[in-house]
Amino acid sequence: MSENKPSVEQVALSHLLDNAYEEFKLSIHSASARFVLWGSFRDAADLKQHYFAAKNKKFLLDGRRSAKSFSPSDSTLKEVVELGAAEAEAYVDWVREQNGQPILREMLVSYCTVFENCLKNVALVFLLANKKNQGLRGQVFVPGDEFRKALHSIQDRWRAAGSAEKSRAEQFFDSNIQTVNVDCSRFQFLPMSAPEWSTCRAAYQARNALVHQLGRPFETLEIDGTPLPAGWEIQLTPAQLLAVQRSFEKILWPLDPLNQL
């Protein structure tokens, strides 16, 4: 019988790091794009026309072919798009009645999630690099069990982070990225006293209020100079969302691969 050998992950740490940053940037842009796309929405009919035109399937709407002539996949696509367009119209009508707040709140929660994911991925890369004492050059070979343990360790550290003075993101960044920086000359992060971290802290407190406290913060928060009063339902502005986005981007900007060109 052949002996079972433990699996080994071949990991290019610099590639993992670049991917983590790219995913952060594109996901942040995705949240911003949704705000613009929803704002430009007209009605369900217009959405269906644009969708089928983009897919080169105008025949599903223009009546030149009978439904019996559609392929099963085209019939399914038409049904899905018609349902989705109707649901989109109902959603946008509700958002407009709420003065855009649902989208702005979703954006804030999305920004915090994207930022959190990037921090965890970067911390994982730094943890592996420091364990292998290799920096970010070349490839490292990590046994599968060790890789999974590293992933679990990062999750545990995230859950354990946070205090009355610092948000979970702040403390996690400080302990697992800033103080264990694998290349201080390359990654010159902002000091923890930078104003961007104040915006980060308020963003996470607002996010927690939206997710866990019926949208009402326990204490007055401030983002972009505008207060979010304690006990009141959070009302956000596009300027506040832009301030959060720019703060997150500035904190993680040293990881941008373009900085190394």
How many Å apart are CA 108 and CA 241, to the nearest integer? 7
Q: Does the pLDDT of residue 208 top 70, yes or no?
A: yes
Is pLDDT at 1 greater than 70 in this prediction? no
* 109 pLDDT tier (thresholds 50, 70, 90): very high
Report how far residue 200's alpha carbon sits from residue 198's, in angstroms, rounded to the nearest whole number: 5
- Is the pLDDT at 114 greater than 70? The verdict is yes
Give pLDDT, residue 151: 92
Q: Which two tokens stand for residue 253?
A: 């900007």
- Concatenating the DSSP letter of every residue in 85-151 gives HHHHHHHHHHHHHTTTHHHHHHHHHHHHHHHHHHHHHHHHHHHHHHHHT-TTSSEEEEEHHHHHHHH
Q: Could you tell me the pLDDT band of residue 145, with boundaries at 50, 70 and 90?
A: confident
Q: Considering just the CA atoms, what is the radius of gyration of the chain in Å?
A: 23
Q: What is the mean pLDDT of the chain?
A: 88
pTM reported for the whole predicted model: 0.86
Indicate if the pLDDT at residue 153 is higher than 90: yes
pLDDT band at residue 125 using 50, 70 and 90 as cut-offs? very high
What percent of the chain has a predicted confidence (pLDDT) above 90?
A: 54
* Mean pLDDT (whole number) for 192-203: 95
Per the CB < 8 A criterion, the answer to whether 41 and 177 are in contact is no
**Predicted confidence band at 212 (pLDDT cuts at 50, 70, 90)?**
very high
Cα 16 from chain centroid (whole Å): 17
- Alpha-carbon distance of 250 to 58, in angstroms, equals 44
pLDDT in tens, 235-256: 999 999 999 999 999 999 999 9
pLDDT at 9: 63
The per-residue pLDDT for 213 is 96
Q: In which band, very low, low, confident or very high, does the pLDDT at 225 lie, cut at 50, 70 and 90?
A: very high
Those residues whose C-beta lies under 8 Å from the C-beta of residue 73, and which sit 6 or more positions away, are: none
In this structure, what are the phi and psi dihedrals at residue 9, rounded to the nearest 5 degrees? -90, 130
**Residue count of the chain:** 261
Dihedral sign of CA atoms 88, 91, 96, 99 in order: negative
CA–CA distance, 125 with 122 (Å, rounded to integer): 5
Q: 231: left (phi > 0), else alpha (psi -120 to 50), else beta?
A: left
Per DSSP bridges, beta strands 8-12 and 139-143 are antiparallel
pLDDT tens-digit map of 6-61: 566 677 788 889 999 999 999 998 877 877 877 787 888 888 888 888 888 888 88
Q: What is the dihedral of CA 44, 47, 48, 52, to 10 degrees?
A: 180
pLDDT digits (tens, 9 = 90+) for 156-165: 999 999 776 7
